[in-house]
Every structure is written in structure tokens, then in C-alpha cells.
């Protein structure tokens, strides 16, 4: 059982043609097998829930080092084409940047508040979420490739949800950006 799923070309033929490149759903260079992504997400979620339930830093860090870190390293170094481990790759492809960073910053705030004994640790997590959102808001504002990547994700979701007007608006905005009319 491999950690990698077969590749698909643009026509949908499995394992044939050139690997897809770029960003956005179904455009990644290496597809991780669903079972591997599920295990990775499960372990990560378990560690975050355990942290929220006030795990001590020593036991949490040891667990993360022995369970999560080997998975992360395997994912980072095992892929023949793409150096992103499954969780990073999936969030990069499917989850809006602001959601990903808000969750990461919030988890760091909650962990810090838990391990340093803050009385209002959830407020620190909320502050982390706000900081994550602000960081990505301004990062995307000043980074044209990031705007294009995020726009591709939003358009993909709009297409999947049948929101034709929203999808058309996103496509029009992207064309304006590429022509230089709409600033990133």
C-alpha cells in the first residue's frame, strides 16, 4: 500500500500523461493516498484536541515528536516531486490561506496559553486567530501570485457549489488582474 495515489492528466486518464503542476484543487504534482491523508489529519487533530484539554507540554511534545514528526518528515522527503507533506499540501490546495493561518496562529496561542498557565488561554487563542487573519490579509494584498492562488480556490468552491455568478465574477476579476486593470 503506497502513500501516493496515481496521477491523473487533464483528461482524467489515471497514471498517463504529464503530471499536473500549479496550485489549486486537483492541480498538485503528487497526490497523496486518501488513507495517508486521513491518518495525518487524525494524528494532527488528536494532538490539537489533547493540547486544548490541557496536556502538559512535555508529554504533548514527546508525543508530537514520536508520532507526528516522523510522518511530517516522511511526507517532506519521500515525495519524488513535491516537498510538501500531506497536511501542508491539502491545506495549500483546498483551504483558503486566511483559514489555515488563523487556525495555526490560534493553536499556537492556545498552546502557549495552556503551557504557560494563562488564566484566559482562549482569549490568547482568539488573539492568535486575529493575528493569523491579519497576516494573511495583508500578505495576499501585497503578493500577486498568492492572490491568483486564493482566487483559484474560491472559484473552484463557487463552481462546486453551483454559484455561477460568483464564479463568473471571480474569473472576471482574475482577467482584470492579469491585464493590469485591477491591482492585486
**77 in a structural domain:** yes
Digit-coded pLDDT (tens) for 76-110: 777 666 667 778 877 877 888 899 999 999 999 99
C-alpha cell at 164: 455561477
Into how many domains does the chain fold?
1
46 in helix, strand or coil? Answer: helix
Digit-coded pLDDT (tens) for 50-62: 999 999 999 999 9
**120 in a structural domain:** no
User: Which residues, in sequence order, are bridge partners of residue 32?
Assistant: 4
C-alpha cell at 3: 502513500
Query: Does pLDDT of 46 surpass 80?
Result: yes
Per-residue model confidence (pLDDT) at position 100? 92
40 by Cβ neighbours in 10 Å (0-12 / 13-18 / 19+) ranks as: buried
Q: Which of 171, 105, 177, 110 is nearest to 140 (CA)?
A: 177
Per-residue model confidence (pLDDT) at position 9? 35
**71 in a structural domain:** yes
Digit-coded pLDDT (tens) for 16-40: 333 444 555 556 666 677 888 888 8
**145 in a structural domain:** no
Query: Does pLDDT of 114 surpass 60?
Result: yes
**133 in a structural domain:** no
**175 in a structural domain:** no
Query: Does pLDDT of 13 surpass 70?
Result: no
CB 44 within 8 A of CB 87: yes
What is the C-alpha separation between 171 and 177, in angstroms, rounded? 10
Per-residue model confidence (pLDDT) at position 5? 60
* pTM for this model (two decimals): 0.70
DSSP sequence for 85-149 = -HHHHHHHHHS-HHHHHHHHHHHHHHHHHHHTT-TTHHHHHHHHHHHHHHHHHHHHHH-HHHHHH
**105 in a structural domain:** no
Digit-coded pLDDT (tens) for 128-162: 999 999 998 888 777 777 778 888 888 888 999 99
Query: Does pLDDT of 12 surpass 50?
Result: no
**30 in a structural domain:** yes
What does the buried/exposed string (b/e) look like for 163-178 if buried means 16 or more CB atoms within 10 Å of the residue's CB?
eeeebeebeebbeebe
Q: Name residues whose C-beta falls within 8 Å of residue 153's C-beta, 6 or more positions apart in sequence.
A: 24, 25, 93, 94, 95, 96
Per-residue model confidence (pLDDT) at position 14? 35
**Structural domain containing residue 41:** 1-94
CB 170 within 8 A of CB 155: yes
Per-residue model confidence (pLDDT) at position 116? 94
Q: Which of 110, 100, 92 is nearest to 137 (CA)?
A: 100
Per-residue model confidence (pLDDT) at position 20? 43
Per-residue model confidence (pLDDT) at position 146? 78
Amino acid at each position: 500500500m503506497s502513500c501516493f495515489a496515481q496521477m491523473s492528466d487533464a483528461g482524467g486518464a489515471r497514471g498517463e500523461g504529464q503530471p499536473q503542476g500549479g496550485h489549486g484543487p486537483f492541480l498538485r504534482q503528487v497526490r497523496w493516498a486518501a488513507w495517508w491523508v486521513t491518518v495525518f489529519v487524525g494524528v494532527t487533530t488528536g494532538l490539537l484536541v489533547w493540547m486544548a484539554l490541557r496536556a502538559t507540554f512535555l508529554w504533548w511534545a514527546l508525543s508530537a515528536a514520536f508520532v507526528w514528526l516522523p510522518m511530517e518528515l516522511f511526507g517532506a522527503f519521500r515525495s519524488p516531486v513535491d516537498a510538501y507533506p500531506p497536511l501542508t499540501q491539502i491545506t495549500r490546495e483546498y483551504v483558503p490561506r486566511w483559514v489555515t493561518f488563523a487556525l495555526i496562529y490560534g493553536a499556537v496561542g492556545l498552546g502557549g496559553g495552556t503551557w504557560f498557565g494563562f488564566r484566559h488561554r482562549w482569549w490568547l487563542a482568539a488573539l492568535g486567530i486575529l493575528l493569523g487573519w491579519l497576516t494573511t490579509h495583508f500578505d495576499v494584498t501585497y503578493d500577486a501570485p498568492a492572490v491568483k492562488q486564493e482566487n483559484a480556490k474560491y472559484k473552484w468552491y463557487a463552481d462546486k457549489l453551483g454559484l455561477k455568478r460568483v464564479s463568473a465574477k471571480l474569473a472576471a476579476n482574475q482577467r482584470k488582474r492579469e491585464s493590469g486593470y485591477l491591482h492585486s
